[in-house]
Amino acid sequence: MLVSANEHFSSYRVFTAILFRDLTVYFRYRGSWINPLFFILVVITLFSLGFGADSQALRVYSPSIIWVTALLAVLLSLDSLFKTDFDDGSLEQLILSSQSLYLSVLAKILAHWFVTGLPIVLATPLISLMLGVSFEVLPEVSLGLLLGTGILSFIGAIGASLTVSLASGGLLLSLLSMPLYVPAMIFGVQYLQDAIAGWPLMPSLSMLIGLLLAAVVLSPLAIMAGLKLSVEA
């Protein structure tokens, strides 16, 4: 019983150590979290300018615009998720370690979400203002992005694990990840459309929550296999 408790405590320490270490690295290189946020704001600004005075059409297409730009912003940062650890050899040590690789992968994805997904969620009021979305549905839009960016980070990390050994695997990463994103995109856009239109939210919200839970539980397993394959290659 004591051994089991010590093992759990040790795993927790490893999890928090990797989480804070990655966050420190991300914030040391500000482009890691500024670039995705800057990208999504620039793209949404271009859409706003493109629609011009047709604010009604902008509101109609705003769910699709939000999700597509969020997807591209997350993809922009995924290539470096495991790259630094692979280049300096620490990824191989992480795989060979007796500590839980599952929790280590979970910590790295969570750190990635903190510096990519969370800033997008916090920028929801500005995004809604730029797209002409009513502030009355701001909580629903924020919740949709909170769930959605989490799904995007976990699913995208699968592609990142398979391309980590490639010198430039950004395009291949996108091709590998895109089919997996389809269900999240469909239900994410539907949820925002329901929120803006004032329709019942539970069907699409339940699907988003289910997709996030499935991604949190299952994605690390696929990522572990992908990392081991990439290191052994």
Domain boundaries, the chain: 2-232
Question: What pLDDT does 80 receive?
Answer: 83
At 170, is the pLDDT very low, low, confident or very high (cuts 50, 70, 90)?
low
Question: What pLDDT does 12 receive?
Answer: 80
Report percent pLDDT > 70 for the chain: 94
CA count, 13 A, side-chain hemisphere, 94: 26
Tens-place pLDDT, residues 80-102: 889 889 988 889 988 988 788 99
Question: What pLDDT does 191 receive?
Answer: 97
Question: What pLDDT does 210 receive?
Answer: 97
Question: What pLDDT does 1 receive?
Answer: 45
53 pLDDT higher than 80: no
59 pLDDT higher than 50: yes
The residue-averaged pLDDT of 227-231 equals: 90
* Between residues 91 and 4, the one the model is more confident about: 91
Closest CA to 114 of 207, 12, 25: 25
Evaluate the CA torsion angle 123, 129, 130, 133 in order and state its sign.
positive
129 pLDDT higher than 70: yes
| Contact criterion met (CB below 8 Å) for 168 and 154 | no
117 pLDDT higher than 60: yes
Buried b (16+ CB within 10 A) or exposed e, 111-137: bbbbbbbbbbbebbeebbebbbbeeeb
Per the rule left: phi > 0, alpha: psi between -120 and 50, beta: everything else, 27 is alpha
Tens-place pLDDT, residues 8-51: 657 788 899 999 999 998 888 777 778 888 899 999 999 988 88
211 pLDDT higher than 50: yes
